[in-house]
């Protein structure tokens, strides 16, 4: 995750909460740096999934965030029984995303 991605997302969604954009504020709050918006992390994971399976194969997704993402964190998306996990390089799971395939939602 890069600072540029975080800043661009803040602008795109008009969310300038200082924990996302102000380094000094984030540090004063006890964080090592600003943190990425949770929906940005989920969106990047879904982009990776859709790139693999195609946009018509996915009906819905439900995400649960579990750890902050900081600038410089390398994220990977790993399949699970019910969807995917988004992990940092150290193995920390930052999000789980349950996926509903289009065929399952259509009763096929």
Question: Given this model, what pLDDT does residue 17 score?
Answer: 97
Tell me what percent of the residues of the chain surpass a pLDDT of 70.
Answer: 95
Counting Cβ atoms within 10 Å, is residue 93 exposed (0-12), middle (13-18) or buried (19+)? Answer: middle
Residue 96: CB atoms within 10 Å: 19
Residue 66 tokens, joined? 């579990």
Tell me what percent of the residues of the chain surpass a pLDDT of 90.
Answer: 89
Does the pLDDT value for residue 107 go beyond 60? no
When pLDDT is averaged across residues 6-34 and rounded to a whole number, the result is 97
Does the pLDDT value for residue 14 go beyond 80? yes
Pairwise pLDDT comparison (29 vs 104), residue with the higher score: 29
DSSP 55: G
Asked whether 67 and 88 are in contact (CB, 8 A), the reply is: yes
When pLDDT is averaged across residues 54-82 and rounded to a whole number, the result is 95
């Amino acid at each position: 995750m890069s600072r540029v991605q975080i800043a661009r997302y803040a602008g795109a969604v008009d969310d300038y909460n200082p924990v996302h954009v102000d380094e000094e504020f984030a540090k004063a709050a006890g964080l090592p740096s600003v943190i990425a918006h949770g929906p940005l992390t989920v969106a990047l994971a879904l982009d990776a999934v859709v790139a693999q399976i195609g946009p018509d194969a996915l009906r819905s997704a439900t995400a649960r965030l579990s750890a902050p993402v900081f600038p410089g964190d390398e994220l990977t998306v790993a399949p699970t029984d019910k969807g995917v996990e988004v992990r940092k390089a150290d193995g920390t799971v930052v999000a789980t995303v349950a996926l509903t395939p289009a065929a399952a939602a259509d009763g096929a």
